[in-house]
A and B are shown apart, each in its own frame.
Chain A
Amino acid sequence: MKILVINGHLIDPKNNIDGQSDLLIDQGRVAAVGTGLNADDAEIIDAAGLLVTPGLIDIHVHLRDPGLEYKEDIISGTRAAAAGGVTSLACMPNTKPVIDSAPIVEYIINKARRHGSANVYPVAAISQAMKGDVLSEMGELKAAGCVAFSDDGVPVVSGELMRRAFEYADTFGAPIISHAEDLSLVGEGCMNEGEVATELGLKGIPWVAEDAATARDIMLAEFTNSRLHVAHVSTRGSVELIRQAKARGVKVTCEATPHHFTLTDEAVRGYNTNAKMNPPLRRQADVDAVRVGLADGTIDAIATDHAPHHYDEKNVEFAVALNGIVGLETLLPLTMNLVRDGIISRQQAIALMTCQPAAIIGIDRGSLEVGAAADITLIDPELEWTLVANELKSKSKNTPFGGWTMRGAAIRTLLAGRTVYQR
């Protein structure tokens, strides 16, 4: 079964391709790239006016499966991914039970293969049950198919355990993903500390809670000469710490979320629980710093921290609402806003969502050379649409962008040559 994508504008940052080009798919793999391709027996996809890119890769997703399927599961979550143009994602281990044993890794991979609309790469826990006491069985977890280790959402408090985690994960060639947060500084905080929190009478989370933890983990990565990936960087200080660390050769990468480069803590006004997440929405200066970090290459990937929660978990008093928002279906338009704002180039935007995150978790995806899996997203970067929360493919509708006019959308998403979404 051959598919020929014609008339599109191909962007493949890894291979430095950015121009009109056709693309031939054969048996789920890229068979040829170039102009004037012909294949008599191929299905033709006319991509006139569209960008043809590697399928997008989101390395920070909560699929909630196993155990929390009332929020999301592998089927609904990967369907949301496909609708957002995402063909590969890394899912976080704070499931029930926690992803801390090989059978759970295998369960996720198998269910995604059989029933999913995207490639799913589990991230396993650093510590058993994410309790911060004992290392998880990283060797076996890696052998079962996990791509990285993280106690996302529950930072490892002990410096000693984190040091050993770096060393042990490095033994098996996997990076540590840090949820950088000093919990003693967070306390009962539920939004960014600052004048908005003061006015609303809500307890604040100071930026130093993130900076101090980022600094510790950078120093531990440097000390152990191991790979660190910092999740959802949200502060000016963290961006600067990572920039400095990179300059002196520390093996550190990081990601930023669309909400942290789009919204400030002003969005919390009215006690909007869909503006409650962790890390919290910060000040304009932080948003600006994240944007600069994306532009100058300090930040390596855009990842959504897609965090579905049930209506009942958000329809409560602000202080008790759960943290997080869904993000898979707004990744693309919010990132294209950065291109329109002149922050990053179009090619940079695609790189931040394809080959660069692929490199962080070490997967063979995110580019379109001959022989690569035909994970492809056809993008209309300027298509205008209105976000209606209830129309999201995700089981959960917790988005602060309801009613927003979005620009940019996936028109068609192919997973190994198979169409998994069509607008």
Chain B
Amino acid sequence: MNFNPKHILGIKDLSAAEIHFILDSAASFKEINSRQIKKVPTLRGKTIVNLFFEASTRTRTSFEIAGKRLSADTINISASSSSVVKGETLEDTAKNIEAMHPDIIVMRHSASGACDYLAQRLKCSVINAGDGTHEHPSQALLDVFTIRQHKEKIEGLTVTIAGDVTHSRVVRSNIYCLTKLGAKVRVAGPRTMLPPGLEKLGCEVYTDLREAIRDVDCIMMLRIQRERQGKTLIPSLREYARFYGLNPENIKLAKPDVIVLHPGPMNRGVEISSQVADGPHNVILDQVENGVAVRMALLYLVSGGEPLQQN
């Protein structure tokens, strides 16, 4: 099989075979990151623009490193330094960048659907680095890659995603990704943070974290987005931590070999206690490491790369 999508806009559009193909490609790239010379000429001469309309350290850096290790020229544009503040439309901003002939635009935007919007209007490839509260495909792929690394397979696993579902862009992508690969997904949080119809996406919905993590293989804690929080969804971080924080006590309800993921940045003592975040179950830094490999694979595949030879 070969898979060279024009864009990566979301996991919803991908088949299980395509997801596996991306993960396998990422596995080949991962090795490069531990070499002495961490650079291959694969995308030499390609230009990648990281167009970030929202603050992001992890994702942007990860895409930038991924591009550089493939020898592409990567340029970062952040909204604060762009003409958006001068009232330019998204379409005009993007078309101006496109006029300089980049090969790929990697975009993060606060509006759900912004990447779909751009992909319909541009000739270059678009990779969604997070659009509003819609999708964040590269995050889901690196999560699943990390789970596969530790559990060897995805099929048959039970994965709980817990926390502020309503503000999360990671949840949808992960539900699609995990269920397409045969995992069972549980989603947990207070009802104020669970948008209606979640179960239609293919998951089970829980309001009791302890019930939700009982006997599961993986737990993915979502960040409480302090900057996005209205005043009405939870009364206090203190109470949230008590009922929805993952700690050394409640984690015992999960399988003994449970792994704990977090897309970061973590709020220690809120959704995850330091004992768990630094404890034996955590694979959080593996996620970050794998993120580079997964993004190298995405950049490579949308550039029309041939199937990689394992070396």
Chain A residues with a Cβ under 8 A of chain B = 187, 193-204, 270-271, 312, 315-320
> B40 on the interface (CB 8 Å rule)?
no
Chain B residues near A196 (CB, 8 Å)?
A: 197
Q: Does the CB pair B112–A320 fall under 8 Å? A: no
A-B contact pairs, 12 of them (CB 8 A): A193-B195, A198-B196, A200-B112, A202-B132, A271-B112, A271-B117, A317-B90, A317-B109, A317-B113, A318-B117, A319-B112, A319-B132
Q: Does the CB pair A316–B134 fall under 8 Å? A: no
- Bound-state CA distance A312–B88 (Å) is 11
- Bound-state CA distance A20–B196 (Å) is 53
Closest to B133 in A: A201
Closest to B165 in A: A198
Q: Does the CB pair A320–B111 fall under 8 Å? A: yes
Chain A residues near B169 (CB, 8 Å)?
A: 201
Given A201-B169, A270-B116, are A318 and B111 also a contact pair (CB < 8 Å)?
Answer: yes
Number of interface residues of B (CB under 8 A): 25
Given A194-B196, A317-B111; 19 other pairs, CB 8 A cutoff: A193-B195, A195-B196, A196-B197, A197-B197, A198-B198, A200-B112, A201-B112, A201-B113, A201-B131, A204-B195, A270-B116, A271-B116, A271-B117, A312-B89, A316-B91, A317-B109, A318-B113, A319-B113, A320-B111
Closest to A201 in B: B134
Residues 69-99 of B, flagged 1 when their CB comes within 8 A of A and 0 if not, give: 0000000000000000000011100000000
Q: Does the CB pair B135–A201 fall under 8 Å? A: yes
- Bound-state CA distance A276–B11 (Å) is 25
Q: Does the CB pair B195–A197 fall under 8 Å? A: yes
> B122 on the interface (CB 8 Å rule)?
no
Chain B residues near A320 (CB, 8 Å)?
A: 111
- Bound-state CA distance A194–B199 (Å) is 11
- Bound-state CA distance A216–B225 (Å) is 35
Given A194-B196, A271-B116, A318-B111, are A200 and B134 also a contact pair (CB < 8 Å)?
Answer: yes
Chain A residues near B117 (CB, 8 Å)?
A: 271, 317-318
Q: Does the CB pair B114–A199 fall under 8 Å? A: no
Q: Does the CB pair A204–B196 fall under 8 Å? A: yes
> B172 on the interface (CB 8 Å rule)?
yes
Given A318-B111, A319-B111, A320-B111, are A194 and B197 also a contact pair (CB < 8 Å)?
Answer: yes
| Set A193, A200, A271, A316: member contacting B196, Cβ < 8 A | A193
Chain B residues near A200 (CB, 8 Å)?
A: 112-113, 134
Chain B residues near A197 (CB, 8 Å)?
A: 195, 197
- Bound-state CA distance A221–B133 (Å) is 40
- Bound-state CA distance A271–B9 (Å) is 13
> B35 on the interface (CB 8 Å rule)?
no
Closest to A316 in B: B89
> B200 on the interface (CB 8 Å rule)?
yes
- Bound-state CA distance A308–B293 (Å) is 48
- Bound-state CA distance A196–B117 (Å) is 18
183-200 of chain B: CB within 8 A of chain A: 195-198, 200
Q: Does the CB pair A199–B201 fall under 8 Å? A: yes
Q: Does the CB pair A316–B112 fall under 8 Å? A: no
Closest to B132 in A: A201
Chain B residues near A317 (CB, 8 Å)?
A: 90, 109, 111, 113-114, 117
Q: Does the CB pair A195–B197 fall under 8 Å? A: yes
Q: Does the CB pair B200–A195 fall under 8 Å? A: yes
- Bound-state CA distance A270–B200 (Å) is 18
Q: Does the CB pair A202–B112 fall under 8 Å? A: yes
